[in-house]
A = this chain, B = another copy of it.
């Protein structure tokens, strides 16, 4: 990885992903399952858990950018806007710093929704296997 390297991937946040995350984590917050509960809180309908959308940065680090063996050291998330069922998010990762002599990188982590609306921003620090 080098400073300036960019990776992008589109992932659809389906109802099935929301259910799987809830089953894994035990987070069955009604705003994620019940349109009326979500509407009562000012949303247009039920929304994905923040951690559903956020977890795909972990997948991208492990599978693609930079790949297997990547270890998470830090991650920050700012949730700017709700993610609705079946929205397609564009994940954009950019290497913004590298540690001298160690395979440790700071990566800007963003996810954009329809109309390029910023949904999640943040930064990761990862240690690459190589």
Q: Name A's B-contacting residues (CB within 8 A).
A: 17, 20-21, 23-31, 37, 41, 49-51, 54-56, 58-59, 62-63, 68-79, 129
Contacts and interface: CB of A to CB of B under 8 A. Distances in A.
A98 B18 CA distance: 29
A75 B79 CA distance: 8
Identical copies of this chain, number: 2
A74 B120 CA distance: 9
A97 to B, nearest CB: 16
B30 A24 contact: no
Contacts of A21: 24, 55
Contacts of A79: 71-75
A29 B68 contact: yes
24 contacts: A17-B24, A20-B20, A20-B23, A21-B55, A23-B24, A25-B56, A25-B58, A26-B59, A27-B55, A27-B58, A27-B63, A28-B63, A31-B68, A31-B71, A41-B71, A49-B58, A51-B54, A55-B55, A74-B77, A74-B78, A75-B76, A75-B77, A75-B79, A76-B77
